[in-house]
Amino acid sequence: MITVDLSGAQSFFNEAGPDYATAAEAHRTLSGATGPGGEFTDWLSLPSAFDARELKSILSLSQKIKKLGNILLVVGIGGSYLGARAAIELLKTPSHNTICGSGATEVYFLGNTLSADAINETIALISDRDFCVNVISKSGSTLEPALGYRVAKALLERKYGRATAKKHIFVTTDAENGTLRAMADAEGYESLVIPSGIGGRFSVLSPVGLLPMACAGIDIEAVMSSASEAMLTLDLRSPDNPAWQYAATRQLLYTQGKNIELLASYEPSFRYMAEWWKQLFGESEGKNGIGIFPASLEYPADLHSMGQYVQDGPRTIFETVVSFANSRTSLSVPFLMGDPDQLNYLAGKDFSQIAKIAKQAVKAAHISGGVPNIEITCDTRDEQGFAQLICFFEVSCAISAYMSGQNPFDQPGVEAYKSNMFSMLKEN
């Protein structure tokens, strides 16, 4: 299970320490669905309540997509794609599409940009090959994926003709309402349902994330089984609950002027997990003029670009470092004749050993520089570890938001730019 080490933050605590009484109250509010947004808390019970028949249906669709071309183009933005991409990069590799091998399904993403260059690059990668499309949107009216869907649909119809193109389009949307639901019903697309009681950023363990994950070869049955166990563990009503520890410590540091959180990891495959985390916490907490700003860094690379700022910049930051206790592979440092770089003292040591010492050195330096450090450790980078991280961050986020007096499940500020954008587009 996830462990939280607060030793690197304790010297910054006040005498009272983290407010676990308020964390307990927030947890009661969350579990009882009695707070603002309580109608969007179905993600808590989703792993244990998920219909086994629906899981089999998703697996069947993934096999159907494989037979139709071995390429899936996922059209979505925000919560409609970040979780799936995070899972694929963390559990497979950021280079999945390059090294997945013959017979495996490649997964590409569209609908998350308005850059013609980026869209055309994706088109160039797949347009001369057989592919399927999974359009993901609760409403179907968000501009970026709606335009991405138009591009994907046009590609399919030019390639296969209108009738056959329909068999290559799979929709994940609301059961009854919205533009995309209406289009799916009108065109006869096969579809999966986004549960009504789950918002986008909490939807990765629903069909939103599960179909792309299954297509990439991730064991979604293991993911859901592990998530069910994790949710039970995270329901512990005690300061020993790692979600309480993380949420309460974040809020304590915020009251002390630490209003920027840097989420870091030493695993490059964690990059899109951090992107998912930024949406989760940013949309859930950044409201009414308050909230911790979520940012992410990739260590050690960013130690050579942002390390100076972290060490000596404004003391308004704290860092949360996610690690995996066990590496998947091993690699030893080679011996060089003559020791030209004076590093033969490291010859034979595994890179994981060196990374562990580097983490300890960085942690000590940052703490001495006035940066509190929270360590989150997950045992393994596999389906179980992924499920544990998702559940841990979701529960922590909701508790943290309720502790700060926010509704974790709305995003009223997002609508401001959308309204302006559609108005200006119609005028120009």
Cα 131 to Cα 151: distance, rounded to the nearest angstrom = 13
Cα 277 to Cα 295: distance, rounded to the nearest angstrom = 9
Report yes or no: 347 and 335 within 8 Å, Cβ to Cβ: yes
pLDDT of the residue at 373: 98
Cα 122 to Cα 127: distance, rounded to the nearest angstrom = 8
50-108 pLDDT, tens digit per residue, is 988 999 999 999 999 999 989 999 999 999 999 999 999 999 999 999 998 767 799 99
Cα 356 to Cα 408: distance, rounded to the nearest angstrom = 35
Report yes or no: 412 and 283 within 8 Å, Cβ to Cβ: no
Rg, C-alpha atoms of the chain: 23
Between vectors from CA 380 to CA 376 and to CA 382, what angle results, nearest 5°? 120
pLDDT of the residue at 139: 87
How would you classify the pairing of strands 132-136 and 71-75?
Answer: parallel
235-294 pLDDT, tens digit per residue, is 999 999 999 999 999 999 999 999 999 999 999 999 999 999 999 999 999 999 999 999
- Whether the pLDDT of residue 187 is over 90: the answer is yes
Q: Which of 67, 304, 426, 427 is catalytic?
A: 304
Cα 11 to Cα 17: distance, rounded to the nearest angstrom = 10
Cα 4 to Cα 6: distance, rounded to the nearest angstrom = 6
Interacting residues of 37 by C-beta distance below 8 A, sequence separation 6+: 407, 408, 409, 410
Cα 257 to Cα 363: distance, rounded to the nearest angstrom = 20
Q: What's the rounded mean pLDDT across residues 423-428? A: 77
In the chain the domains, ranked by start, together with CATH numbers, are 3-34+234-413 (3.40.50.10490), 42-221 (3.40.50.10490)
Is 66 catalytic? The answer is no
Residues of the chain with pLDDT > 90, as a percent, come to 92
CA-based nearest residue to 273, from 228, 215, 322, 315: 322
Q: Which of 56, 121, 176, 418 is catalytic?
A: 418
Cα 419 to Cα 347: distance, rounded to the nearest angstrom = 59
Which letter does DSSP use for residue 167 in this model? G
Cα 273 to Cα 162: distance, rounded to the nearest angstrom = 37
Q: How far is CA 370 from the centre of its chain?
A: 29
Q: What's the rounded mean pLDDT across residues 288-303? A: 97
Query: Is 227 in a helix, a strand, or coil?
Result: helix
CB atoms within 10 A of CB 262: 23
Interacting residues of 220 by C-beta distance below 8 A, sequence separation 6+: 55, 58, 59, 210, 213, 214, 383
Report yes or no: 419 and 426 within 8 Å, Cβ to Cβ: no
CB atoms within 10 A of CB 158: 11
Q: Which of 283, 285, 298, 394 is catalytic?
A: 283
The model's pTM:
0.96
Burial of 55 (0-12, 13-18, 19+ CB in 10 A): middle
Which letter does DSSP use for residue 106 in this model? E
pLDDT of the residue at 417: 76
Which letter does DSSP use for residue 409 in this model? T
- Whether the pLDDT of residue 421 is over 90: the answer is no
Provide, for the chain, the percentages of residues in helix, strand and coil under a 3-state DSSP scheme, each rounded to the nearest 5. 55, 15, 35
| Residue 327 backbone phi and psi in degrees, to 5 | -80, 150
Residues of the chain with pLDDT > 70, as a percent, come to 100
Whole-number Cα distances in Å, 62 to 69, 184, 292, 405:
11, 18, 38, 41
Is 304 catalytic? The answer is yes
What is the DSSP secondary-structure string of 267-335? -GGGHHHHHHHHHHHHHHH-BTTB-PEEEEEETTGGGGTTHHHHHHS-S-EEEEEEEESS-SS--BPPP
Q: What's the rounded mean pLDDT across residues 8-21? A: 96
Cα 33 to Cα 27: distance, rounded to the nearest angstrom = 10
Is 319 catalytic? The answer is no
Which letter does DSSP use for residue 338 in this model? T
